[in-house]
Structure 1
Amino acid sequence: MTLTPQAEAHLAAAAGAGARPVHELTVGEARMASLGYLDLQRPAPGVHSVTDTFIPGPTADLPIRIYRTTTAPDLPAVLMLHGSGWVIGTIDLADEPARQLALDTGYVVITVNYQKAPEHPFPQPLDDCAAAFTWMRDHAADLGIDRDRIAVVGDSAGGNLAAALCLRLRDQGVDGPAAQALLYPALAPDFTTASHRKYDEGTGLSSADMRWFWSHYLHGQLNDPDPHAAPLTARSLTGLPPAYIAAVEHDVLHDDATAYARRLADAGTSVELEEYPGMIHGFYWMDAVLDDSRQLQRRLAAWLTRTLAAAL
């Protein structure tokens, strides 16, 4: 399928505004440019409460944001890991989709501003996400959540961290999330896939951009990455929680998503793979300009509701 008219119009507008590709930017420039996502989002909807606080991390206190739509106790919860290429992005950029996820599910949603590469390369972002998940389980009673019904959701690099978190906790023999949702995840520094070749130009995210992100995250060591950095390279995907995976057609990372879904299914994990034809990378954060973004938000919420209800 060709790009949807809305996606095509968005890419044309970005090109007309002279937007430079990420791989041509400095880290500081890329971080400033990422603020443009705020212009692609609807006004943030109101929720019952939003609480900003800090939790202890392995090397620093970590900012977190807690979203509630009700004061009811023992609710399922979602740890939402924002996309970032492990380099850019903050919980502020994920504020609107986090609010919407809380409203769509009725669950407690928590975001964490994990530390970013290149100042904090692998494994620090993953360490921070693991610390946030452990904190949620340890403080479940205080948070009013069910410690056995915590899902992890991540988009792009956040999808990488969500998948890696499930792998790490499995490998440690520790109870992990009850469910994982991976939205167009980056799962291996392999730039030779069919989707990398087919969608390398004109889709908003190129192979050169992904190489830039991966190089910062892995400190330039792209060969033979640790499976917890590149989950698609893990020898075994057995014993992992049920998964929802969103694959985007016009995305260099499309094949990461579909390959991981196949491997999870082959390992006996329940997987729901949904393809989003005509869409581009990052569209989960673009509900002001792409109607398909809202469709993804609803489908994600419906899957989480079914899956965590079954975990009772």
Structure 2
Amino acid sequence: MADRNPDRIPLEEVATDQRPSVRAFREAGEASYEDAASVEALRVSSAELSAAGALPPDDIAAVEDVDLGDFSVRVYDPRGGNSSGSTGPSPVILYAHGGGWVIGSVDTHDSVARRLCSGTGLPVVSVNYRLAPEHPFPVPYTDCADALAWVRDAASDRHWDPDRVVVSGDSAGGGIAAGLASVPAAQVAGTTVVAQVLLYPSVDLAHETEAYQRVTAGFQLTAASVRWFADRLFSRPADPSDADDPRASPLAWLRGQEEAGTAVAQPPAFVLALGLDPLGTEAVDYAAALTRCGTAVELHYLPHHAHGLVNAAGKVPTGEQVLGLTTAFITRTLDMPSGM
């Protein structure tokens, strides 16, 4: 039966492989993130949902949780932690998980990090950054920058190359990765970002696009959800200028650089944008802004998919296909054999 709610994008417009989960969400009453009884309850339910939709975990030779004091990282190393047989220091992938800065962890994104590792043959450092509202802006961003600094400091012992870092992330984590790649205030001395992988990223918390008016019901992440997450990130009422910080809104920052005539090419970028996502238009806009400043960009726009694709890759085949495109981009950009 056709959906007669005028606020919903019709179910028939949802991609076939994601349609069952969207249908189930609607039939269950459409309880979204902001409808949870508490932040803690939301973290529990979201972790359960991620586990249910995740890919089976790829086997990795060595997986290690490292305590960095205020937060931790999980290191996936396909070499088993033994670099003696390698020909030189390895590039490293830094991964920032999604979850609106409020939910998510290295556990909810474990299968994604494993696939990045197995698909490229590179070590992956997944950041278990501290979450809002307990740790509001800019803590999630500074924790990820501090994790990159740890990669630099640990590089010699772990046989890593801090001048060949790929920053990556989905949703909120994609925005964090974009800042680490491009925004001077977020960059880490002694490291060089050589590629950025941005999966349906949040790149402009200072402005809303037309997608906010279009995606308002019928999906777990709607415009209201993004606003709810942002309120907790900034612990509002807060300084309104927080959303204008280049780390929170790298798209607005890049546009400002364009207007001032100071925009320069950024590290090559892989950008995934989704048409049924309130963040979809800004992802496309960010890819376009990167190209205008001379950056090599591989943009994938999927008009009939909704937010959260890679976390649901165990149930939505397109999510696994996207991860394959991502690892191919990384190996190609680094001029490595696929699956090295």
Deviation at 1:19, TM superposition (A): 5.4
Amino acid at match of 1:10: S
Deviation at 1:309, TM superposition (A): 2.2
Query: What is the SS of the residue equivalent to 1:102?
Result: helix
Amino acid at match of 1:27: V
For residues 5 and 31 of structure 1, do their structure 2 counterparts lie closer, same or farther at Cα, with a shift above 3 Å needed? same
Is 1:42 the counterpart of 2:55? The answer is yes
Alpha carbons 1:80, 1:154 under 8 Å: kept: yes
Is 1:7 the counterpart of 2:43? The answer is no
Alpha carbons 1:184, 1:281 under 8 Å: kept: yes
Query: What is the SS of the residue equivalent to 1:178?
Result: strand
Aligned partner of 2:9 in structure 1 is none
For residues 261 and 173 of structure 1, do their structure 2 counterparts lie closer, same or farther at Cα, with a shift above 3 Å needed? same
Deviation at 1:55, TM superposition (A): 1.9
TM-score by length of 2: 0.85
Write out aligned runs for 1:77-96 (5 A).
Answer: 77-96=92-111
Amino acid at match of 2:321: Q
Amino acid at match of 2:18: A
How many aligned residue pairs are there?
Answer: 306
Aligned partner of 1:32 in structure 2 is 44
Deviation at 1:172, TM superposition (A): 6.1
Write out aligned runs for 1:1-312 (5 A).
Answer: 2-18=13-29, 20-25=31-36, 26-35=38-47, 36-56=49-69, 60=70, 62-70=71-79, 71-72=82-83, 73=86, 74-169=89-184, 174=189, 175-189=191-205, 192-220=208-236, 221=238, 223-224=240-241, 225=243, 226-234=245-253, 235-236=256-257, 237-309=263-335
Distance 1:173 1:54 in 2: 20
**18-27 vs 292-301, greater mean Cα deviation:** 18-27
Alpha carbons 2:195, 2:268 under 8 Å: kept: yes
Deviations 1:21-56 (A, max 9, x none): 111222112211211111001221211111111124
Moved runs in structure 1, 4+ residues, more than 3 A? 15-19, 167-176, 221-224
Alpha carbons 2:180, 2:186 under 8 Å: kept: no
Alpha carbons 1:170, 1:240 under 8 Å: kept: no
> RMSD of the alignment, in Å?
2.0
Aligned partner of 2:7 in structure 1 is none
Distance 2:29 2:332 in 1: 43
Distance 1:239 1:170 in 2: 17
For residues 257 and 44 of structure 1, do their structure 2 counterparts lie closer, same or farther at Cα, with a shift above 3 Å needed? same
**75-84 vs 24-33, greater mean Cα deviation:** 24-33
> If you compute each CA radius of gyration, which structure gives the higher value, 1 or 2?
2
TM-score by length of 1: 0.92
Distance 1:266 1:7 in 2: 33
Alpha carbons 1:170, 1:176 under 8 Å: kept: no
**263-272 vs 194-203, greater mean Cα deviation:** 194-203
Query: What is the SS of the residue equivalent to 1:257?
Result: helix
Unaligned runs of 5+ in 2: 1-11, 258-262
